[in-house]
A and B are shown apart, each in its own frame.
Chain A
């Protein structure tokens, strides 16, 4: 028996495996892209960004698990779902163990991944959902996530308190309508002192206006704040994304992220990926490409059943292409 007849094919197979392994290696980064992403592109189309109203995502620190929100067509009543990056692909989502019954949205993981904050209309007691929304969190345990914990006053009030974001030292940024009569929604901050959030401050005028200022994302080191603002003079239409830098405790004037990201439609809830290389944000609310010619009923259903149907999706772009300074 000729040993070469066996060895050569095996060697060829090994070479092939290594070559393909190289491809698999590149794909093993959950959201990394081989090619630069210099224009916004839909993230994980078909699995995470689908024909549904998909938005508000949060990555675990290793980037291998993503929590995001699926809404009804009217943008109400969210459910938080999870997808894992396995064998080079994002898995079909599952409903998060703490979600699927009440309206939950806007997941946010602490930088160490030990706590997941979210917004919910679930009742603190009883079974009737609240009319407003509050901030809740779950904590990592040996058996998975704990039961949801409701944050006490002064973070939560009897009006909308929502869209949490948290730094490494536990400082919580969030939106509240507590002064809505005077100032619409504004961004607030609460320090974690002795394990408790005992006071709340509104961010200064560099950030907040008398119109809606929402969706804060604060970097782990509390140096970069991304947020959404409505109707500023430099807006490209509807809600736009802005950045402000915390320089030795003073916030720089909010800067519009520019026309590459902001459009005449809504852009909202931006976050920088855990590895600091990408910006993720949500966009949609009616942005749809009109047909260039008459469409048939079948073609119409094709548009409806795709991620390009005008509902929101999650977008990704290289942070280097956004003008945001790290």
Chain B
């Protein structure tokens, strides 16, 4: 007969496993999130450096900062060498790590945040990153171009509000041929809707496309969607569901280089299930207003396996 203490240990370890399982299935706040606006994270191919947007709500102030993984912890961020002056956002590192793309309204200093965004890139150099270069026509236009994403073959995916789309922002792609981008093409109706569709992100094989949309039928505001490529065609996108999407905004999907985690940006509130159980003191209030989960955007991650994407 099993000794009671051993029996208890078995139960406890079983509970621990269940606990771990549960935790893996839920989106977790990622370490670099604070009370300010963080979002659109991108990793270097070795996963050791993270670039992301840091800004503040309501303003046109948004810069690209980076942090390094050191002894299992993310270091205090630093300003990216090419940022810190103009409005920059949405960094994306090419799969070979040689180029970093981002969106920016440089060199406008318009205080009203209505300035025009284009896609820019910096190239890896001996001393870090080169000076930013505007990708020019035909990628950039007089309309908004944002949220660059590059696949292994060099094709560039991005959002644009240019005429001829299905409404709001649509996702476009341009192939890279002989070092030049082809005329951008709309990704089509499996992906783009009459609402805003944006923030393309691919798995390593380029077979799965994650993106964000504020189309009707979601959990509210922006949600994350996924589409699978079969026989060269994108299948109709489906909502990633309650493990990721809430009535708050979920945007900017990004995969960790090892493909294990889906990262995303959300302005969901933490600890607001209904109402605080009791009245807050002033210091509790100020702490809540200035911490992650206050409803400025934060970075989250979830194990990709928890999304059960292989199930029909």
Chain A residues at the B interface, C-beta cutoff of 8 Å: 51-53, 70-74, 76-77, 79, 81, 92-95, 99-102, 127-129, 237, 264-265, 284-291, 293-297, 300, 303-304, 309-311
CA of A95 to CA of B279, assembled, Å: 9
B186 at the interface (CB under 8 A from A): no
List the A residue with the shortest CB-CB distance to B76.
A297
List of B residues within 8 angstroms of A73 by Cβ: 35, 37, 56-58, 289, 294-296
List the A residue with the shortest CB-CB distance to B36.
A304
Q: Tell which of A52, A93, A288 touches B289, judged by Cβ atoms closer than 8 Å.
A: A52
Cβ contact within 8 Å between B61 and A290: yes
Cβ contact within 8 Å between B275 and A300: no
A160 smallest CB distance to B (angstroms): 19
Contact string against A for B residues 72-83, beta-carbon threshold 8 Å, 1 for contact and 0 otherwise: 000011110000
Give the residues from 41 to 79 in chain B that come closer than 8 angstroms, CB to CB, to chain A. 54, 56-61, 63, 65, 76-79
A70-B289 contact given A93-B282, A293-B85, A300-B54, CB 8 Å threshold? yes
Q: Tell which of B63, B109, B267, B280 touches A300, judged by Cβ atoms closer than 8 Å.
A: B63
Cβ contact within 8 Å between A288 and B282: no
Q: Tell which of A71, A93, A95, A295 touches B79, judged by Cβ atoms closer than 8 Å.
A: A295
Q: Tell which of A92, A102, A285, A291 touches B275, judged by Cβ atoms closer than 8 Å.
A: A102
Cβ contact within 8 Å between A128 and B58: no
Cβ contact within 8 Å between A288 and B60: yes
B286 at the interface (CB under 8 A from A): yes
Cβ contact within 8 Å between B84 and A294: yes
B112 at the interface (CB under 8 A from A): yes
B142 smallest CB distance to A (angstroms): 22
A310-B282 contact given A291-B85, A294-B85, CB 8 Å threshold? no
B127 at the interface (CB under 8 A from A): no
Contact string against A for B residues 204-235, beta-carbon threshold 8 Å, 1 for contact and 0 otherwise: 00000000000000000000000000000000
Q: Tell which of A72, A297, A309 touches B77, judged by Cβ atoms closer than 8 Å.
A: A297
B131 smallest CB distance to A (angstroms): 13
List of B residues within 8 angstroms of A52 by Cβ: 286, 289-290
For the complex of A and B, list the 4 residue pairs with the smallest distance between their C-beta atoms, beginning with the closest: A310-B59, A100-B279, A286-B58, A294-B84
CA of A291 to CA of B276, assembled, Å: 38
Q: Which secondary structure characterizes the binding site on chain A? A: loop
CA of A202 to CA of B275, assembled, Å: 34
A296-B84 contact given A81-B285, A309-B56, CB 8 Å threshold? yes
List of B residues within 8 angstroms of A100 by Cβ: 276, 279-281, 285
B180 at the interface (CB under 8 A from A): no
Q: Tell which of B56, B58, B112, B294 touches A304, judged by Cβ atoms closer than 8 Å.
A: B56
CA of A101 to CA of B279, assembled, Å: 5
Cβ contact within 8 Å between A286 and B113: yes
**B59, B280, B294 interface centre (most CB from chain A within 10 Å):** B59
Cβ contact within 8 Å between B112 and A290: no
Give the residues from 14 to 59 in chain B that come closer than 8 angstroms, CB to CB, to chain A. 35-37, 54, 56-59
B58 smallest CB distance to A (angstroms): 4
In addition to A290-B60, A311-B58, 5 A-B residue pairs with Cβ atoms within 8 Å of each other are: A81-B285, A100-B285, A129-B275, A290-B111, A300-B84
B13 at the interface (CB under 8 A from A): no
CA of A296 to CA of B296, assembled, Å: 21
B125 at the interface (CB under 8 A from A): no
Cβ contact within 8 Å between B295 and A72: yes
A299 smallest CB distance to B (angstroms): 8
List of B residues within 8 angstroms of A289 by Cβ: 111
Cβ contact within 8 Å between B276 and A129: no
List of B residues within 8 angstroms of A264 by Cβ: 111-112
Give the residues from 97 to 126 in chain B that come closer than 8 angstroms, CB to CB, to chain A. 109, 111-113
CA of A89 to CA of B31, assembled, Å: 38
B278 at the interface (CB under 8 A from A): yes
Cβ contact within 8 Å between B112 and A288: no
List of B residues within 8 angstroms of A129 by Cβ: 274-275
A66 smallest CB distance to B (angstroms): 14
Cβ contact within 8 Å between A286 and B282: no
Cβ contact within 8 Å between A286 and B285: no
A183 smallest CB distance to B (angstroms): 26
**B109, B269, B295 interface centre (most CB from chain A within 10 Å):** B295
List the B residue with the shortest CB-CB distance to A288.
B59
List of B residues within 8 angstroms of A101 by Cβ: 275-276, 278-280
CA of A300 to CA of B63, assembled, Å: 9
B141 smallest CB distance to A (angstroms): 25
CA of A300 to CA of B84, assembled, Å: 8
CA of A275 to CA of B37, assembled, Å: 40
CA of A94 to CA of B79, assembled, Å: 36
